């Protein structure tokens, strides 16, 4: 019994310093892949890419017209972080930037969930792990020609 108590105590000491490590208040993230699918109002069907149910763009295999956008998350230590989208120069895609105010909807020692909208027809939800410097991003939308969604993965520094 005494050995078990000591083992638990040592385990807690090993875990606590990692959890107590300060998380960064901002991250610069590079998109490495995204997949999307939408319902075409005109075509009356779900569309991906050709016969694939989802269109997929990666750094190694970009898709023209669907750029991978870098993200900057700042104020991660607040309840309303700022999210910046940066479209780096790419073939047939203009350089662009936009900024949104997010809302933290869940925070724990390992990750945080942040949501934001464009106040018109789009909503985003990001899961950010500031210590491992990884993020995933879901984007849902309804436009003039379709309704759909994207899932994106990002590596951060």
Q: How far apart are CA 73 and CA 28, in angstroms?
A: 6
Q: Share the mean pLDDT of the chain.
A: 87
Q: How far apart are CA 37 and CA 91, in angstroms?
A: 23
> Which residues, in sequence order, are CB contacts of 86 under 8 Å at separation 6+?
69, 70, 71, 72, 96, 97
CATH number, domain 23-156: 2.40.160
- C-beta neighbour count of 37 within 10 angstroms: 17
Q: Give the pLDDT confidence score for residue 105 in this predicted structure.
A: 98
Query: Using 50, 70 and 90 to split pLDDT, how confident is the model at 21?
Result: low
Collapsed DSSP state (helix, strand, coil) of residue 8: helix
Q: Structure tokens of 114?
A: 């942040």
Q: Find out whether 85 and 101 touch, Cβ atoms under 8 Å.
A: no
Q: Give the pLDDT confidence score for residue 16 in this predicted structure.
A: 42
The backbone region for 87, taken as left when phi is positive above 0, alpha when psi lies in -120 to 50, beta otherwise, is beta
| DSSP code for 74 | E
Q: Tens of pLDDT along 47-98?
A: 888 788 999 999 999 888 889 999 999 999 999 999 999 988 777 788 899 9
């Amino acid at each position: 019994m005494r050995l078990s108590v000591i083992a638990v105590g040592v385990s807690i000491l090993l875990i606590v310093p990692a959890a107590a490590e300060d998380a960064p208040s901002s991250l610069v993230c590079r998109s490495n892949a995204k997949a999307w699918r939408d319902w075409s109002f005109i075509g009356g069907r779900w569309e991906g890419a050709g016969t694939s149910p989802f269109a997929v763009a990666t750094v190694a295999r970009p898709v023209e017209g669907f750029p991978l956008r870098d993200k900057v998350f700042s104020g991660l230590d607040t309840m309303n972080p700022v999210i910046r989208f940066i479209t780096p120069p790419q073939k047939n895609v203009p350089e662009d930037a936009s900024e949104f105010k997010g809302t933290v909807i869940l925070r724990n020692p390992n990750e945080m969930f942040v949501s934001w909208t464009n106040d018109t027809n789009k909503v985003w939800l990001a899961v950010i792990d500031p210590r491992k410097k990884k993020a995933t991003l879901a984007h849902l939308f309804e436009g003039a020609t379709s309704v759909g969604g994207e899932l994106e993965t990002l590596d951060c520094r």
